[in-house]
Chains A and B, each alone.
Chain A
Amino acid sequence: MTVTAGVTAAPRRRTRRGAAFRDAGPPVALVVIFGIFAALSPQFRSVDNVQNIVDAAAVLAVVTCGITFVLMMGSIDLSAAGVMGAAALTVSLLVANNRNDNDFGLLGILVAVLLGCAFGCLSGLALVLLKVPSFMATLGVSAVGLGVATLLFAGVQPNISDTMLKGWAIERFLGFSYLTWIAAACVLVGWLVQRYTRLGRYAFAIGGAEEVLTLSGVRVKPYKIAVFALAGAFYGLGGVMVTSQLGAGLVQAGDGYDFSAITAAVVGGTLLTGGRGGVLHSAVGVLLVMVLTNGLVQVGVSPYWQGGVEGLIVVAAVAAAVIPQRRRNQVVK
């Protein structure tokens, strides 16, 4: 036989150490930024404020949980705003409210979440059947969601009087509002799905090497649709939570959550190209973004500058995470 140009190969474990470093970045950044603000403002480090930060993170955490699965596949989802608006209106019209005599309670909430799920399915179907890139498919679905929400709104704001749903935002358990616990449960569920279900693992794998799955005889399409549906359900729940917070169904319930959620997920270490990151990463990212938003108000940065400082810090955070692994001839899109 041929003697080829090599004899043994020393296993190279460098990648693994790189991965550990990468995963540690966002939590370290979280601690550092928290430390800086805590040093600058005594108000910031009060227990009340920490509770406040965590409470304020609840909705974003749920939405980010959903979007993480989509990002893991390497797709993108901009439908959160529309889906949340539609879900908010739906739930506020189905639980006890001032517009009609409905009082379905939990069932109403379930319907709103399922509606979110259905919108997610629509995005997935447009991606899989019509082959429309997810960026555009979800943008379209978002517009449809807003339209549906506006139809349901019909000119009069539905205020909810359902004590359970209103209680979610007000009642507290161990110092945190029920919404926060719901968000924590969502993160846990998200993590379990990601770690222990075929859906979660395949979403991860699709981001890693979609064509390999096809070659291994996995039918990828249903999983893609399911992932979008799962994300839609999370947005639906997010819409319900916003409704609980505001005590009313707003068409604008989801305004801005799409880009915030993507920002949070990316800051947490989920790659836009897919195949890396996860729900726990995103949870850290959400806290990071919330600490930043809250901290800037606490140290008294002018409201004009807040958006700018946030943008700068997000870029800096990603740059800090990226620079250690910079190589020449690296592809960055």
Chain B
Amino acid sequence: MNASTPALEVRGLVKHYPGVKALDGVDLIVRQNEVLGLAGENGAGKSTLLKALVGLVTPDAGEIYVRGEQVKLRSVVDAADHGIGMVFQEQSLVPNLTAAENIVLGSEGAAVRRGVYRWDTMRRLAQEQLDKIGSDIDPLARTDTLTFADRQMVEIAKVLRIEERSQHPPVIILDEPTSVLESKEIETLFAQIRRLREFASVIFVSHRLDEVLDVCDRVTVLRGGQSAGEVATAGAEPGELHRMMIGSTGSDDHYHENAAAPVTAAEPRLSVRGMSGKTFHGIDLDVAAGEIVAIVGVHGSGREDVCRALFGAEPTTAGEIRMDGKKIDLPGTRAACAAGIGYVPAERKIEGMVGPMSVAENMTLTKQRARCTGPFVAPRKQAGLVDRWIERLSIRTPGRDTAIGRLSGGNQQKVVLARWLVAGDIRLLLLDHPTRGLDIGARSEVYRLMRELAASGVATVLLADSLEEAIGMADRILVMNDGRVAAEIACPSGGKPSPLDLVKEMV
């Protein structure tokens, strides 16, 4: 193998699922010591391709070459033996083990002799990996006591173990590593990726195209299970990538700002005074009908808890909440629902939806009046209602009885949103990272939906995925810092603040 042999090459990979051709002859080349970006909309085949690269999916046809040699990857272990490892999007660490154990898990080597642990050796081995990425985490700390970013470092350290295992420069796959990170943590991660490039090849996957352009040397775009093209990042524009992903020119008005209706209501729909809880204190917040208010803040600023408290899912110790001038009490989520408040949680798979249940059932879980006659479910009424909303939100599903877990992320999110809309009595929507893990197309549809709802008079509180999203969508932005509201910044269409204005208040 010489320096120009690709570290990893994929030729004509094909994978069929019943009814879908997930991969339709994908080609991919990862050079040595290169950071390759992988972009593509949901359903473009990224997920299947990555699974094939770490042995979780067996392709129907096509070849995979590692350092010029053709290989068959049957399992994660197989892939690791060939020097390919992946940092999973949903973190794959065992929470109740130490960081060191997680790092060496599955390839303990000298750390375990005849089934018996050598804690000293393990600590040393783990430290070696952590040193590679310059992390100062205590290897013997329990993983669930670490911060999210630290855990990601542990995960990278864990993947780097395959370097020892395969005796070759590894290929590291990072699947959506930034989706839950705050900006400072992202900076650290990017520094890390650049450091990795010194001795490894990296495949970097993200929905945030600017990030892809920022950290990668080259980007391969997938579309419809095929390679749609390749872009060198130097001088490339996000718009160009976007066009390649969707196959046509994307809308410039990403946040549908021209659909934003001016807020006219004089009385605030939601009015919060002096609300305090475990992680937040003296919160004042007003949201008018039709207004979108974003709350931004660093990790630990308490904004998630404020959002949950407004839904009755987090206890408050003081304060007053009024809806349309009427004082309400929120002892639990039921009371919030009754008051016309809806909540879309950040953890969609765990908190947002019930995976094995059907689209129809998920959509009608909350509002019974819409599907019932008296205390009884009226099957026809329910079917009509659900079909109407499937059409209205253009949810792509084989049918209303399909389990929601089988839909793509964007469609799942639309069903979760529809849950609050079916009864037509929604007055306040709390959106906690509503676009997390969605691709550009799906995001855009969620944004459009938010605009429509606002136009129809729904008040919205948004915890955005990024500052740009907050700025793009909100009419007003509240900045939270250490459990208190640090600043309130108007954010009208045409007079948007810059991200830096917000950051100043956040720290």
A and B touch in the complex (CB under 8 A): yes
A interface vs B, CB < 8 Å? 1-13, 15-16, 19, 195-199, 201, 204-205, 207-209, 211-213, 215-218, 275-276, 327-329
Closest CB-CB distance, A87 to chain B, in whole Å? 25
- For residue B403, which residues in chain A have a CB less than 8 angstroms away from its CB? none
| Chain B residue with Cβ nearest A12 | B300
Q: How far is the CA of A6 from the CA of B467 in the complex (A)?
A: 8
Distance in angstroms between the alpha carbons of A211 and B93 in the assembled complex: 10
B 64-123 contacts with A by CB, 8 A: 75-77, 80, 88, 92-97, 101, 105-108, 112, 115-117, 119
Minimum Cβ distance to chain B for residue A217 (Å): 4
Closest chain B residue, CB of each to CB of A8: B184
**Residue of B whose beta carbon sits closest to that of A226:** B115
B394 at the interface (CB under 8 A from A): no
A7-B506 contact in complex given A208-B97, A328-B313, C-beta closer than 8 Å: yes
- Give B469 Cβ to nearest chain A Cβ, in Å: 8
Residue in contact with B145 in the complex, picked from A9, A10, A15, A276, CB distance below 8 Å: A15
Q: Is the CB of A208 within 8 A of B94?
A: yes
Whether B227 sits at the interface, judged by CB under 8 Å, is no
Q: Which residues of B contact A208 (CB under 8 A)?
A: 94-97
- Chain B interface bracket (under 10, 10 to 19, 20 to 34, 35 or more): 35 or more
Chain B hits for A276, CB < 8 A: 96
Partner of A1, one of B210, B308, B506: B210
B96 touches which of A9, A207, A217 (Cβ 8 Å): A207
Q: Are A218 and B106 in contact (CB under 8 A)?
A: yes
CB <8 Å contact, A3 and B148: no
Given A3-B503, A208-B96, A328-B315, A9 contacting B467 (CB threshold 8 A): no
- In the bound complex, do residue B76 and residue A1 qualify as a contact, i.e. CB atoms below 8 Å apart? no
Residues in chain B near residue A196, CB distance under 8 A: 116-117, 119
Q: Say whether A209 contacts B94, CB under 8 Å.
A: yes
Complex Cα distance, B183 from A196, in Å, reads 39
- Residues of A within 8 Å of B468, CB to CB, are 2-3
Cα separation A102 to B101 with both chains bound (whole Å): 48
Known: A9-B148, A197-B117, A205-B97. A4 touches B182 (CB 8 A): yes
B185 near A: Cβ within 8 Å? yes
Binds A, one of B2-10, B39-47, B239-247, B291-299: B291-299
Contact (Cβ within 8 A) B465 A5: yes
Inter-chain contacts of A2 with B (CB < 8 A)? 183, 208, 210-211, 466-468
Which of B312, B470, B507 makes the CB contact (< 8 A) with A8?
B507
A200 → chain B closest CB, angstroms: 9
Q: Which residue of A lies closest to B464 (CB)?
A: A5
Query: Binary interface profile of B, 445-472, with partner A (CB < 8 Å = 1, else 0)?
Result: 0000000000000000001111111100
Q: Is the beta-carbon distance between B507 and A7 smaller than 8 angstroms?
A: yes
Q: Mark B350-364, 1 if CB is under 8 A from A, else 0.
A: 000000000000000
Please give me the 10 A-B residue pairs with the lowest Cβ-Cβ distance, nearest first: A6-B182, A217-B77, A9-B299, A216-B106, A208-B96, A217-B106, A3-B499, A4-B183, A6-B298, A1-B214
28 A-B residue pairs with CB within 8 Å: A1-B215, A2-B211, A4-B178, A4-B466, A5-B183, A5-B470, A6-B299, A7-B506, A8-B298, A9-B148, A10-B300, A15-B145, A198-B115, A201-B101, A201-B117, A204-B97, A205-B97, A205-B105, A208-B97, A209-B94, A212-B94, A215-B92, A216-B105, A217-B77, A217-B106, A328-B312, A328-B314, A328-B315
- Closest CB-CB distance, A317 to chain B, in whole Å? 22
CA distance A201 to B143 in the complex (A): 14
CB A277 to nearest CB in B, in angstroms, measures: 10
B50 beta carbon closer than 8 Å to chain A: no
**Contact at B184–A329, with CB atoms within 8 Å?**
no
CB–CB B145/A13 < 8 A: yes
Which of the listed residues A1, A6, A204, A207 has the most CB atoms from chain B within 10 Å of its own CB?
A6
**Complexed CA–CA distance, A288 and B233 (Å):** 66
Q: Which residues of A contact B97 (CB under 8 A)?
A: 201, 204-205, 208
Q: Which B residues are in CB contact (< 8 Å) with A209?
A: 92-95
Residue of A nearest to B299 (CB): A9
Alpha-carbon distance between A57 and B188 when the two chains are bound, in angstroms:
54
- Contacting residues, chain A, for B444 (C-beta < 8 A): none
Contacts of A327 in B (CB 8 A): 314
Residue of B117, B296, B333 contacting most chain A CB atoms (<10 Å): B117
Docked Cα-Cα span, A197 to B116, in Å, equals 4
Asked if B181 is at the interface (CB within 8 A of a chain A CB), the reply is: yes
Minimal beta-carbon separation of B461 from chain A (angstroms) = 14
Contact assessment for A329 and B313 in the assembled complex, using a CB-CB cutoff below 8 Å? yes
Please pick, from B108, B298, B464, the residue contacting A9 in the complex, using a CB distance under 8 A.
B298
In the complex, whether B339 has a CB less than 8 A from a CB of chain A is no
Kindly list chain A residues whose C-beta atoms are within 8 Å of the C-beta of B317. none
Q: How far is the CA of A117 from the CA of B216 in the complex (A)?
A: 55
Q: A213 with B315: in contact, given A3-B183, A6-B183 (CB under 8 Å)? A: no
Q: How far is the CA of A13 from the CA of B147 in the complex (A)?
A: 9
For residue B149, CB closer than 8 A to chain A, the reply is yes
> Would you call B198 an interface residue if the criterion is a C-beta within 8 Å of the partner chain's C-beta atoms?
no
Q: Is the CB of B296 within 8 A of A5?
A: yes
Q: Which of A9, A199, A212 contacts B300 (CB 8 A)?
A: A9
* B297 adjacent to A5 (CB under 8 Å): yes
The answer to the question of B389 belonging to the interface, with a C-beta cut-off of 8 Å to chain A, is no
Please encode chain B, from 120 to 155, with 1 for each CB lying within 8 Å of some chain A CB and 0 for all others: 000000000000000000000010111111100000
Query: Complex formed: what's the CA distance from A191 to B213 in Å?
Result: 52
Q: Which residues of A contact B75 (CB under 8 A)?
A: 217
In the complex the two chains form, what is the Cα distance from A1 to B107 in whole Å? 36
Residue of B nearest to A195 (CB): B117
Q: Are B186 and A4 in contact (CB under 8 A)?
A: yes
A58–B261 Cα distance when bound, in Å, is 74
Set B92, B117, B185: member contacting A216, Cβ < 8 A: B92
**Chain A residue at smallest Cβ distance from B351:** A329
Report chain B residues within 8 Å CB of A9.
Answer: 147-149, 182, 184-185, 298-300
Q: Does B332 contact A (CB under 8 A)?
A: yes
Expressed in whole angstroms, the minimum distance between the Cβ of A223 and any Cβ of chain B is 10
Q: Give which listed residue, A199, A201, A212, contacts B92 with CB less than 8 A.
A: A212
Check A7 against B117 for contact (C-beta < 8 Å): no
Contact assessment for B105 and A213 in the assembled complex, using a CB-CB cutoff below 8 Å: yes
List 20 additional contacts besides A7-B184, A212-B105, A216-B158; criterion CB under 8 Å. Answer: A3-B466, A3-B503, A4-B467, A5-B464, A5-B465, A6-B182, A7-B182, A7-B183, A8-B299, A9-B298, A196-B117, A204-B97, A205-B96, A208-B96, A212-B92, A213-B94, A216-B105, A217-B77, A327-B314, A328-B314
